[in-house]
Amino acid sequence: MPANDSKLRIMVARHSAFYSPLIAAIAAGFLAEEGLDAAYSVLPPQGRSHPLLLDGEIDVMQSAPGSNWGPMERGETGLPVHFALINRRDGFFITGRKPVTTFDWKALEGSSFVADHGGQPMLMLRYAAHVQGVDWSKVNAIDAGDVEQMDAAFRAGQGDYIHQQGPAPQQLAKDGVGHVLASVGAAMPEVAFSSLMATKDFVASERGKAFTRAYRKSRRWVQETAPDEIAEKEASFFPRLIPMRLPARSAAISSSAAGPGAWTSRKICTIKPWRFSCTAARSPNGTAAKRWSWNLRHSHSRGPSVCSRRRNPPSRT
């Protein structure tokens, strides 16, 4: 399908306030300033991002860097590239039934825990648990289905804790269903959690350059702008939160969702071929975790940073 010169088709693997640097590129008008009219949609169940990009069905995809790992290990070539970082920390939270002053991760042992079983979310959760000294074999990790099914299960009384991205945990707290206890990202070292992916041809094109300029501005804007203003700009992307008072929406959509330092960085970069190692680490008590490291060769654009060194909304057209 040939690309329209102005219509930019953005798709996300998950819809979350955690990806506000991308959402704000649309909501705050930065893409429009570049003459780009954006269509925003969410990857459907069983959808595959690589074919959509390579077949020209979409232009930009929000995706975990690990989406390229399997194809790279199989020796596949001509893959889309991850060209800009969105988050450098995990954006999930742990919500519990009862409030606690200081959350002890060891409390997960012996509990029933409604956990997101998606590839990267589960690996990052287990890594955080490993860092915090949790014996994962003692955790009853419940797979309740997709994000909507997980939320419904917890609201129906299943599980002592639940593992979700913002603003879902903040909505549970607002509804009196639970209490947000811990940030997964704050419990472990920084990682390349989520990024923007496109074909090499798109990144090098004039439309790709225009998108990158807009994204650079959006990234800086969410770092420097008051949470209330971000919440107002992005309100239409989160219609379920609109009935909430502004301070609650503000916490749900921006401050809480961002996590400590998740959006802060120094450079915007275009990542050239990644080299990485992904090895399993096993602690003495049998807890498995992932230890990820990347050697990145990248070229830096000028301007403020996007790259660290080292449920569904309706489709928007």
pLDDT digits (tens, 9 = 90+) for 196-213: 999 999 999 999 999 999
Position with higher pLDDT, 36 vs 253: 36
Task: Give the pLDDT band of residue 274 (cuts 50, 70, 90).
Answer: very low
CATH topology of 7-89+191-300 equal to that of 92-187?
Answer: yes
Q: How confident is the model at residue 115 (pLDDT cuts 50, 70, 90)?
A: very high
- In 3-state terms, the chain is what percent helix, strand and coil (to 5)? 40, 25, 35
Mean pLDDT of the chain: 76
Q: Which CATH superfamily is domain 92-187 in?
A: Periplasmic binding protein-like II (3.40.190.10)
Instruction: State the Cα–Cα distance between residues 234 and 25, nearest whole angstrom.
Output: 10
**Residues 37 and 278 sit within 8 Å (Cβ to Cβ):** no
Q: What is the pLDDT of residue 102?
A: 92
Helix axes 227-234, 20-27, angle to 10 degrees: 60
- Sketch the domain layout of the chain as residue ranges: 7-89+191-300, 92-187
Fold adopted by 7-89+191-300: D-Maltodextrin-Binding Protein; domain 2 (3.40.190)
How sure is the predictor about 103, in pLDDT bands with cuts at 50, 70 and 90? very high
